[in-house]
Amino acid sequence: MGKDRFRVDNQLVPLLAEDLPRELETQSPDYRPYVIASVIQSRLGPLAPYWLRPQVLEEARGAVRDSELARLPDLARRPRPAYGLALVTCCVGNCANESAGTEGDGGEAALLRPALVLPFRWQRDGDPTGVPEDFLQLADRVKRELENSGERGLAVGDFQLTWAYDELRQVDAGGLQCETDSGFFALAASLYMAAREQDGQVDPRVWITGGWDSDKRTVQSVGGIARKIRTMLDFGAKHIFVPAPNLDEAEREVEKLAVRNRCRVEDLSPARGDVRNAFRNVLKVFRAEPAADAPFSDRADYYKHLFVFNRTEDRKYYRNHLLDDIIEKCRERLSDELRRISEKGPIVVTTLSNQCELVRLAHGVFRPSRMIVLRTAGGSPQSDFWEKHKDILEQWQREYGLDCEARRFPAASPEEATQSANALYRELQDVPEERPIVVDLTPGLKHCSLALAMQAPPRAVLVYLQHAYDPRVGCPDPGTEAYTIINHRRRAS
């Protein structure tokens, strides 16, 4: 096998060797399942998380284009195939083969032993021939549960479970009867990600075992947990998810093997009647996008991941999946004075910056009767945030009634910003006293905020958005935002 390798993610990944058919030819039919088990365990198991990713399959296809070792799926026919993780992990318990067994072991074959990773993939079309019927039944059950959970945008009915490696269709695995209940959440997480065409951060060191009680709508414990844990550790597990009733035994097994400091054991989340909640911590580990109705903390963690690794998508995710909740949290944190001000339909002055969501945040929190948005752009098109965010602002106007007056605010220098601030406040002199004026100093250039603060009339309420900071990722911590008044003393005098 040494000559048939290709490099993926700085790791050498061996392909399925061509000597498998010859190995089977030399064995009796009764012993062939054990040979197949050995091949799957030693060659396929640890590798499956890699070749289920489209980019890996593309590289593998190039590496074996002139070889007869394997016939990988034809990706040309499916430009964006929905490959999931190799998540038939930690799932299958003991597997019985009616025609073969080892004396003294009750007929239990080594094939598909507990916690084995198998190379399955989800696809929207294709012949599932070759996949054991037990797994197909489990897959159908997983799909039904996800559909019943109200998952939107997940066309689970269009997906089938097939071998990820076409060559395996020639392996006679149909005679095996597998205990598959403990593979429920492994398959559920796989389908959930595959349907969204998400690779996540595939990590073969993360293992999952757990069943689902459809009647009670709860996570179901699994048997043979000690044996499963040992096999997981044999495959280099670093993070293991088990049902809560199995947690103590799993931790004892890890501690007994003196690897507690190298392997984390965690229980699946309480399902609370929704199957998706049970594996949401698994999705967090794989950095997969959580459901739109997932807990705020999950969505905030995913935003932080995007902030570090995908700065082109982080603000979009913030606007679409966090901003509504943040507005409500900010309103809950308003001081008594700011709450009274927001109830009077104030005039709000803010500045449009690259973080256009701050405009909608101020609008949602203070609920103004009139909103003035300062357009401080210079002469270059790149600095014109109004043109850059015009489509988003128009969308907010349609959806949230965000009517804002765009006002040019020349601010090429501190002197010009001061002149612009004075001109603005002169126009607001005739506003009735009972109508508060709120000036948000959060967005915009520092010298603009300073000019607005220094030239503000005493009646103006100057506010600033504060937040906690997450030093692990170097960004504000979503959900900690709060407006505060910064000119109490000046207004009191």
Note the pLDDT of residue 198: 52
Flag whether 323 is in a domain: no
- Per the structure, the complete domain to which residue 364 belongs is given by 332-485
Domain C-terminal end among 288, 316, 344:
288
Q: Tell me: pLDDT of 488 over 70.
A: no
Mean confidence (pLDDT) of the chain? 69
Flag whether 445 is in a domain: yes
Flag whether 5 is in a domain: no
422-449 tens-digit pLDDT: 999 999 999 999 999 999 999 988 899 9
Alpha carbons 239 and 284: distance in angstroms, whole number:
12
Domain C-terminal end among 234, 254, 288:
288
Task: Specify whether 116 is located in the same domain as 21.
Answer: no
Task: Specify whether 284 is located in the same domain as 417.
Answer: no
- In the chain, % of residues over pLDDT 90: 27
Note the pLDDT of residue 390: 78
Looking up residue 265, the CATH number of its domain turns out to be: 3.30.230.10
Q: How confident is the model at residue 203 (pLDDT cuts 50, 70, 90)?
A: low
Q: Hunting for tokens 């559920």 — which residue is that?
A: 188
Task: Specify whether 140 is located in the same domain as 250.
Answer: yes
Q: How confident is the model at residue 77 (pLDDT cuts 50, 70, 90)?
A: very low
Task: Specify whether 127 is located in the same domain as 260.
Answer: yes
Note the pLDDT of residue 331: 95
Note the pLDDT of residue 487: 82
Looking up residue 426, the CATH number of its domain turns out to be: 3.40.50.10770
Task: Specify whether 40 is located in the same domain as 148.
Answer: no
Task: Specify whether 277 is located in the same domain as 416.
Answer: no
Flag whether 184 is in a domain: yes
Flag whether 344 is in a domain: yes
Task: Specify whether 123 is located in the same domain as 229.
Answer: yes
Task: Specify whether 257 is located in the same domain as 405.
Answer: no
Q: Tell me: pLDDT of 100 over 60.
A: no
Flag whether 452 is in a domain: yes
Task: Specify whether 267 is located in the same domain as 161.
Answer: yes
Q: Is the pTM of this model over 0.75?
A: no
Domain C-terminal end among 235, 259, 288:
288
Task: Specify whether 228 is located in the same domain as 359.
Answer: no
Task: Specify whether 213 is located in the same domain as 359.
Answer: no
Flag whether 150 is in a domain: yes
Task: Specify whether 417 is located in the same domain as 345.
Answer: yes
Q: How large is the average pLDDT for residues 223-247?
A: 82
21-34 tens-digit pLDDT: 555 566 665 555 44
Flag whether 470 is in a domain: yes
Domain count of the chain? 3
Sign (positive or negative) of CA dihedral 123, 124, 129, 135: positive
